[in-house]
Amino acid sequence: MYDPYLLVKCFSLIPKKAIFAENNIIMEFKRNIIITGGAGFIGSHVVRLFVNKYPEYHIINLDKLTYAGNLANLKDVEDKPNYTFVRADICDFDKMCELMTQYRVDGVIHLAAESHVDRSIKDPFTFAQTNVMGTLSLLQAAKLYWESLPEGYEGKRFYHISTDEVYGALKLTNPEGVESPFTTKASSDHHHAYGKDFFTEDKKYQPHSPYSASKASSDHFVRAFHDTYGMPTIVTNCSNNYGPYQFPEKLIPLFINNIRHRKPLPVYGKGENVRDWLYVEDHARAIDLIFHKGNVADTYNIGGFNEWKNIDIIKVVIKTVDRLLGRPEGADEDLITHVTDRLGHDARYAIDSRKLQKELGWEPSLQFEEGIERTVKWYLDHQDWMDNVTSGDYMKYYDDMYKNR
Ligand code: NAD
Ligand code: TYD
For the chain, helix, strand, coil in percent to 5 are 45, 15, 40
Q: Are 347 and 171 in contact (CB under 8 A)?
A: yes
Average pLDDT, rounded, for the chain? 90
Cα(236)–Cα(357) distance, integer angstroms: 13
Going along the chain from its start, the domains and CATH numbers come out as 4-242+278-307+345-366 (3.40.50.720)
| Residue type (1 letter), 243 | G
Q: How far is the CA of 250 from the centre of ligand 2 (A)?
A: 6
Q: How far is the CA of 137 from the centre of ligand 1 (A)?
A: 16
Burial of 19 (0-12, 13-18, 19+ CB in 10 A): middle
Encode pLDDT of 161-210 as tens digits. 999 999 999 999 988 887 766 655 555 566 678 998 999 999 999 999 99
Q: Could you tell me whether strands 233-238 and 240-242 are parallel, antiparallel, or unpaired per DSSP bridges?
A: unpaired
Ligand 1 atom closest to 211 (CA):
34
Say which ligand is closest to the CA of 218: 1
pLDDT of residue 192: 75
- Is the shortest distance between the CB of 304 and ligand 1 below 6 Å? no
DSSP per-residue codes, 297-362 = T-EEEE--S-EEEHHHHHHHHHHHHHHHTTSPTTGGGGGEEEEPPPTT---B--B--HHHHHHH--
Ligand 1 atom closest to 246 (CA):
3
Q: Are 34 and 103 in contact (CB under 8 A)?
A: yes
The residue nearest atom 23 of ligand 2, judged by CA position, is 251
Ligand 1 atom closest to 116 (CA):
2
Confidence of residue 216 (pLDDT cuts 50, 70, 90): very high
Q: How far is the CA of 13 from the centre of ligand 1 (A)?
A: 31
Examine the pLDDT at 12 and tell me if it is beyond 90.
Answer: no
Indicate the Cα dihedral angle 317, 283, 74, 397, nearest 10°: -70
* Residues known to be catalytic: 164-165, 211
Segment among 61-75, 120-134, 189-203 with least mean pLDDT: 189-203
| Residue type (1 letter), 198 | F
Cα(353)–Cα(350) distance, integer angstroms: 9
The residue nearest atom 1 of ligand 1, judged by CA position, is 40
Q: How far is the CA of 262 from the centre of ligand 1 (A)?
A: 29
Please state, in angstroms and as integers, the Cα–Cα distance from residue 146 to each residue in 107, 141, 251, 273, following that order. Answer: 10, 9, 40, 44
- The distance of Cα 336 from the centroid of its chain, to the nearest Å, equals 28
pLDDT of residue 5: 41
Q: Which of 42, 47, 214 to mutate to test the pocket of ligand 1 (most atoms within 8 A of CB)?
A: 42
- Is the shortest distance between the CB of 113 and ligand 1 below 6 Å? yes
- Is the shortest distance between the CB of 41 and ligand 1 below 6 Å? yes
- Is the shortest distance between the CB of 34 and ligand 1 below 6 Å? no
Q: How far is the CA of 174 from the centre of ligand 1 (A)?
A: 32
Confidence of residue 25 (pLDDT cuts 50, 70, 90): very low
Whole-prediction pTM value? Answer: 0.93
| Residue type (1 letter), 93 | F
Segment among 20-24, 93-97, 233-237 with least mean pLDDT: 20-24
Say which ligand is closest to the CA of 246: 1
Encode pLDDT of 32-58 as tens digits. 999 999 999 999 999 999 999 999 999
Examine the pLDDT at 13 and tell me if it is beyond 70.
Answer: no
Q: Which of 115, 103, 18, 22 is nearest to 61 (CA)?
A: 103
Q: Are 290 and 360 in contact (CB under 8 A)?
A: yes
